[in-house]
Amino acid sequence: MTGRRGYPREVHERAVRMVFEHQGEHPSQWAAICSIAEKFGISSETLREWVPPRRGR
């Protein structure tokens, strides 16, 4: 476990990776975050905080 309020590091890493892998299947990154957060049983806001901001748009 890490300092992420009880979420194992593996959950954190996999959820973030899935956002990037599947965001093309959704109309926005936020939509991908919401979809993946639901699958993991975590809040969308928590996952949004884990995902690094996109640069160079």
Q: Which two tokens stand for residue 22?
A: 């599947």
Range of the domain at 16: 9-50
Residue position matching structure tokens 């979809």: 35
* Domain membership flag for residue 55: no
The CATH number of whichever domain residue 27 belongs to comes to 1.10.10.10
Number of domains in the chain: 1
Q: How many C-beta neighbours within 10 Å does residue 32 have?
A: 21
Which carries the bigger pLDDT value, residue 46 or residue 6? 46
Query: Considering the entire predicted model, what is its pTM?
Result: 0.82
For residues 1 and 32, what is the distance between their CA atoms, to the nearest angstrom? 25
**pLDDT recorded at residue 53:** 82
**For 8-39, what is each residue's pLDDT tens digit?**
999 999 999 999 999 999 999 999 999 999 99
